[in-house]
Amino acid sequence: MKRTSRNSHKPVCLSSTALCYFAFMELKRDLAIVLRSVPFEDRHRVVTAITENHGQISALARNAIQSRRFGGTLELFAAAEWTFADKQGAELCGLRDAVIRRSFEGIRADFDCLSLASVLSELMLKVAPQRTSAPELFRLHSNSLAVLEERGADLRILNTYLAKLLQWNGTQPRLQACSGCAIPLDQVEEGAELTCLVASAGWLCSKCRRDGLAHVQGGSDTGFQQAQIRLAPLGILDFQVSVALPIRQASRAAQAGRKDQLDLFRFLEALLAYHLPGLDRQPLKALRFLGIESSLSPQPENPPRNRPLRS
Ligand SMILES: [Zn+2]
């Protein structure tokens, strides 16, 4: 992260250690939405948030547990204006003050909304860059929570969120036509079953699948059971709508039914895990509360290649 040096003059009454501390500490303000909040020791909390201008940050909120000095601003999903001290090289910022902007308590009050919002938080924790501005991710998260609180839990919100993450990443799925014979989507019969291609981010019509064009899929990663992901044309259409419209309109305009939405989710999840660099391929933990089956196979927590060699 780029940093600007603010003070060229130095106080003369402080020790050299203190001088060093203050020279590299900045007080900052930003809008933040809580993604995770965990107790630290007996009295403090470590809160991780997506912010409007600093990407993902984690901050130590001192005495947050007993004194309640931060009110409801550290609750999951709460949006607040944070004032925090950022010290160069330190893992945690120090949260000084937080003023609530929107509590999103309606989300925490409903189990399905809470579960879906937890999936969104989990995704953002995996995807958002640390201390690097990503305002479009902040807006996506903030708008999604607003739609969720207003309309209730709906799988279309989650699918639109995933499609927009892919868009943010620059992954451009080729969805207009079959990757084998190039028949346009609008000429595929409504009841057809399309085969999703994760590696090449496209689809095959049923004729091309029968003709054995499976090699178009490319890759042989067993973590993605891509041959199992089949999708109706309406699901692909919803995907296109999700990419083209803001989340509020997109989640309303989606037409696919529950089953097709579930299939679309599994395709989007696999695309994201495959195409987003650095993303781990673990299934999202909160999915089980929504009764959604992941397209990803659980990976070993410590892959063998990362284990230290035995001497
Ligand atoms: Zn085809």
**Topology of the domain covering 23-105:** OB fold (Dihydrolipoamide Acetyltransferase, E2P) (2.40.50)
Burial class (CB in 10 A: 0-12, 13-18, 19+), 121: buried
The residues whose Cβ lies within 5 A of ligand 1, an ion, are: 178, 180-181, 205, 208
In this prediction, residue 33 carries a pLDDT of 98
In this prediction, residue 200 carries a pLDDT of 87
Question: What is the pTM (predicted TM-score) of this model?
Answer: 0.84
300: confidence class by pLDDT, cuts 50, 70, 90: low
The yes-or-no verdict on residue 158 having pLDDT over 50 is yes
Give the C-alpha separation, 112 to 288, whole Å.
Answer: 11
38: confidence class by pLDDT, cuts 50, 70, 90: very high
Q: How far is the CA of 182 from the centre of ligand 1 (A)?
A: 6
Q: How far is the CA of 178 from the centre of ligand 1 (A)?
A: 5
Q: Which residue has the tokens 């003023």?
A: 99
Q: How far is the CA of 185 from the centre of ligand 1 (A)?
A: 10
In this prediction, residue 298 carries a pLDDT of 72
In this prediction, residue 24 carries a pLDDT of 63
In this prediction, residue 213 carries a pLDDT of 60
Instruction: Single out the residue of 268, 33, 283, 280 nearest to residue 161, CA to CA.
Output: 268
Give mean pLDDT, residues 265-288: 87
- Helix 155-169 to helix 135-151 angle, to the nearest 10 degrees? 170
The yes-or-no verdict on residue 103 having pLDDT over 90 is yes
In this prediction, residue 301 carries a pLDDT of 59
Determine how many CB atoms are found less than 10 A away from the CB of residue 80: 24
CA distances from 137 to 116, 119, 161 (A): 17, 15, 10
2: confidence class by pLDDT, cuts 50, 70, 90: very low
In this prediction, residue 260 carries a pLDDT of 92
In this prediction, residue 61 carries a pLDDT of 95
Written as one letter, the residue type at 273 is A
Q: What percent of the chain has pLDDT over 90?
A: 59
Q: What share of the chain is helix, strand, coil (3-state, %, to 5)?
A: 40, 20, 40
Least confident span in 118-132, 194-208, 270-284, 297-311: 297-311
In this prediction, residue 154 carries a pLDDT of 92
Give mean pLDDT, residues 79-96: 93
Q: State pLDDT tens for residues 211-234.
A: 876 554 444 454 454 556 899 999
CA distances from 255 to 167, 259, 261 (A): 20, 12, 9
Give mean pLDDT, residues 40-54: 95
Q: Where are the domains of the chain?
A: 23-105, 154-290
Long-range CB contact pairs, 143-147, < 8 A, 24+: 143/246, 143/247, 143/248, 144/120, 144/247, 145/33, 145/77, 145/79, 145/104, 145/107, 145/117, 145/120, 146/102, 146/248, 147/247, 147/248, 147/251
Instruction: Single out the residue of 73, 56, 76, 55 nearest to residue 64, CA to CA.
Output: 73
Q: How far is the CA of 194 from the centre of ligand 1 (A)?
A: 9
In this prediction, residue 254 carries a pLDDT of 86
What does the block give as tokens for 245?
A: 């419209």
The yes-or-no verdict on residue 299 having pLDDT over 90 is no
252: confidence class by pLDDT, cuts 50, 70, 90: confident
Q: Which residue has the higher pLDDT, 297 or 241?
A: 241
3-state secondary structure of 82: strand
Q: How far is the CA of 179 from the centre of ligand 1 (A)?
A: 6
**Are the CB atoms for 156 and 251 separated by under 8 Å?**
yes
Instruction: Single out the residue of 167, 189, 142, 187 nearest to residue 241, CA to CA.
Output: 167
Q: How far is the CA of 118 from the centre of ligand 1 (A)?
A: 38
Give mean pLDDT, residues 147-156: 95
CA distances from 292 to 69, 193, 264, 296 (A): 38, 20, 12, 12
93: confidence class by pLDDT, cuts 50, 70, 90: very high
In this prediction, residue 269 carries a pLDDT of 92
Give mean pLDDT, residues 85-114: 94
Q: How far is the CA of 75 from the centre of ligand 1 (A)?
A: 49
